[in-house]
Amino acid sequence: MTTLSSDILTQLEGQAIELPSWAFGNSGTRFRVFATAGTPRDPFEKIADAAEVNRYTALAPTVALHIPWDKVDDYAALRRHAEDLGVQLGTINSNTFQDEDYKFGALTHHDEAIRRKAIDHHLECIDIMHETGSRDLKIWLAEGSNYPGQNDMRGRQDRLQDSLQQIYARLGDAQRLVLEYKFFEPSFYHTDVPDWGTSYAQVAALGDKAMVCLDTGHHAPGTNIEFIVMQLLRLGKLGSFDFNSRFYADDDLIVGSADPFQLFRILTEVVRGGGLNNPDVAFMLDQCHNIEDKIPGQIRSVLNVQEMTARALLVDREALTAAQLANDVLGANGILMDAFYTDVRPALAEWRESRGLPADPMAAFAASGHLQKIADERVGGTQAGWGA
C-alpha cells in the first residue's frame, strides 16, 4: 500500500472545499427537473444537508448561498443554524440571469434603469455578506448577444467596468469580488465575460480585492485549463474555483467523472503554484445533481478532489525538475504519470479512520439511513429546485 508522508497528510488535513446550496435542490435538464424525496424546502434544510457532507468527510466546512434562491428573513439566524451544525456560510452568489428585465443584459445593459437595478442587487448581496460573515461576492453574467451587429460590444465592456466599479466600492475591507467567466451560453455570438483574459482585464482594473473565478466546466473542448490555473496563480488573481466535470458543455457533473486526469493536472498546477491551502484561493463545487442523490453526490465529489490532491502531492518535484532541465521528455512525463496512477485510496481510508472519520464515507452515509429519514420528515411544502 502506498504510504502518504506526514507532510502530505498535514496538507490534506488543511484542505477545505465549499459546497453550493443549490446542489441540494432538485435539478434536471432543459426538458425536465426531476424531483427527489427528501429534497430541502428552504435554505435551512439545504445547510443541514451540506453539514452531513462535512460530517462524513471533514472536507466541506462552508456553504455558498445564491441570492435570491436562498433569501431568508433573518440571515443571522441562518448563520447560527449553520454554526450549530458545524459549518459556516461562505460565498454569496448573485443572480442576474432569471429576471425578465435582464433579457438583453444586466450590468452591461444600455438602459440605465435596468443597469441600476442589477447594480443594486449586488449591493444587496454585499449587505447580506455583512450578516452572514461571508468574504466573497461571486458574479457570473449570462450576458452577451446572439447575432453580429445586435449589440455594441465595446460599449458593453465599458458599462460592465463602470458597474463593477460601483459594486467594488461598496466592499468591506475584508471582502472580495470574484468574477466568473464562461465562453458561451446562453449567448452564442458573444459573451461579455467569455474567458479568463476578459475576467482578468476587468478585475485588474478594479484593485486588489477583485479576483478571477475559474469554473472547470466553462471552457471550450480541448482547452488547457491547467495552463489558465498556472497563469492566474502566477499573476496572483486566481480567487476561486468552481469544480465540476463536463462531457460536452456546462454539464455540472460530479468532479472528475468525465476526465480524472484533467482534475489531476489542474491540482498539480495548484500545488506547484502555491494555491493549495492558500487562503486567497477558495475551492468550491458547482454542481447540479440531476438523477443521483444530492448528499452522496457531493460526498463523492469532495472525495474525488481529495484523492487527486493526494496524487498531485506525490509528484516527485525534484526528479521532475531535473528531467525537465535535461529535456528528458519521456522521463518527465513518466514521473507525472507515476503519481497519477498511484492508488492512494487505501492510505486515505486508513488516515480517515485515524482521525475518527469513516474509512469509506460513501458506504458509511449509505448505511446511516439518512436519506430515508429526511424523505420521511420532509413532507409538504415546496421542494427547492434549480432557480429556487
Give the residue among 338, 274, 258, 352 at the shortest CA–CA distance from 306: 352
Which domain covers residue 138, as residue numbers?
Answer: 15-315
Grade residue 385 by pLDDT with cuts at 50, 70 and 90: confident
Per-position DSSP letters for 321-387, written without gaps between them: HHHHHTT-HHHHHHHHHHHHH---HHHHHHHHHHTTS-SSHHHHHHHHTHHHHHHHH--SS---BTT
Least confident range of 83-87, 125-129, 264-268, 384-388: 384-388
Helix (H) or strand (E) holding 241: strand 238-242
Q: What is the pLDDT of residues 168-190, one digit of tens each?
A: 999 999 999 999 999 999 999 99
Q: What is the CA radius of gyration of the chain?
A: 21
Indicate the DSSP class of residue 22.
G
2 occurs within a structural domain: no
pLDDT at residue 388 is higher than 60: no
Q: Percent of the chain at pLDDT above 70?
A: 99
Residue 352 counted as domain residue: no
**In CATH, what number is assigned to the domain containing residue 59?**
3.20.20.150
Q: How many domains does the chain have?
A: 1
Q: Are strands 62-66 and 88-93 parallel, antiparallel or unpaired?
A: parallel
Instruction: Identify whether 123 is part of a domain.
Output: yes
Decide if 195 is inside a domain: yes
Residue 35 in contact with residue 26, Cβ under 8 Å? Answer: yes
Asked if pLDDT for residue 282 goes beyond 70, the answer is: yes
Structural domain contains residue 162: yes
202 in Cβ contact with 164 (< 8 Å): yes
- How do residues 219-255 score in pLDDT, each as one tens digit? 999 999 999 999 999 999 999 999 999 999 899 999 9
267 Cβ contact partners less than 8 Å away, ≥ 6 residues apart? 276, 305, 308, 309, 311, 312
* Residue 23: pLDDT over 90: yes
Contact 23, 285 (CB under 8 A): yes
Contacts of 48 (CB under 8 A, 6+ apart): 40, 85
Query: Binning pLDDT at 50, 70 and 90, where does residue 122 land?
Result: very high
Question: Is residue 342 a part of any domain in this protein?
Answer: no
Q: Please check whether residue 223 lies inside any domain of the structure.
A: yes
Between CA 183 and CA 195 the distance in angstroms is: 6
Note whether residue 249 is domain-resident: yes
The mean of the pLDDT values for the chain is 96
